[in-house]
Amino acid sequence: MNAARLFYRTRQFWHTLYSSVSEEELGLASTVLSPAQLALFLQMQASEQAHSLRVFRSLVQQGEEDPELLAASLLHDAGKVRVPLRAWERVLIVLAEAICARCVRRWGTPVPGKEVEQAGWRRPFIVAVQHPAWGAELAALYGASPVIVNLIRRHQEKIEVDNAGGAAAESSCEALLLRKLQSADDDS
């Protein structure tokens, strides 16, 4: 892990510990989300809400106005409401990702016949890997459009890179929105 990434992760950890969301920020979220979607947003931990608002503000500062992209930015981590993570579990995930990302993906596969809460030491990895799918399901239940649902489901997908170092040939409008969401998420 290089120094810039270490600084980023340290800053992210402190945000997690000391995050709060103001009424003004909740008002901002309510301008983009439907009342049902806002109810889902309000179920998220304060640290997840604050992170999502940073992603949202980053996109707005870049001039983004697409309402589906902005809604997805606020709900992309909504799947974590299913099994909220503790601060130490977040640290464990980050350290494991830095050491062995493939291990995190393997450990993040649900244990057949067991609920996530019963997965023991694998629990945080399951949440880390599965929360995009869970969030997409929840967003759909709370009335999100298919585009928002897909952006949430795919927000952690690795985008394939072509030989020239650019994004691979997926050129749909949704793919462009996904890349913008991922970039803002990575920077927040």
Tell me if 20 sits within 8 A of 46, measured CB to CB.
Answer: yes
CA distances from 146 to 18, 68, 133, 143, 175 (A): 34, 9, 13, 9, 13
CA distances from 86 to 39, 41, 47, 49, 96 (A): 22, 18, 11, 15, 16
The phi, psi pair for 100, rounded to 5°, reads: -155, 85
Give per-residue pLDDT as tens, 76-118: 999 999 999 998 999 899 899 989 999 999 999 987 888 887 7
Closest CA to 130 of 88, 93, 163, 98: 93
Per-residue confidence (pLDDT) for residue 158, from 0 to 100: 82
Q: Which of 4-13, 83-92, 107-116, 126-135 has the lowest mean pLDDT?
A: 4-13
Integer Cα distance of 9 and 188 in angstroms: 10
pTM of the model: 0.84
**22 Cα distance to chain centroid:** 20
**DSSP string across 115-129:** -GGG-GGGHHHHHHH
Say yes or no to pLDDT of 148 above 80. Answer: yes
Per-residue confidence (pLDDT) for residue 183, from 0 to 100: 95
Say yes or no to pLDDT of 170 above 60. Answer: no
pLDDT > 70: what percent of the chain?
A: 84
Query: How many CA atoms does the CB half-sphere of 27 hold within 13 Å?
Result: 3
Per-residue confidence (pLDDT) for residue 115, from 0 to 100: 83
Integer Cα distance of 110 and 33 in angstroms: 31
- Per the prediction, the chain carries an average pLDDT of 87
| Tokens matching residue 97 | 């990702």
Tell me if 151 sits within 8 A of 160, measured CB to CB.
Answer: no
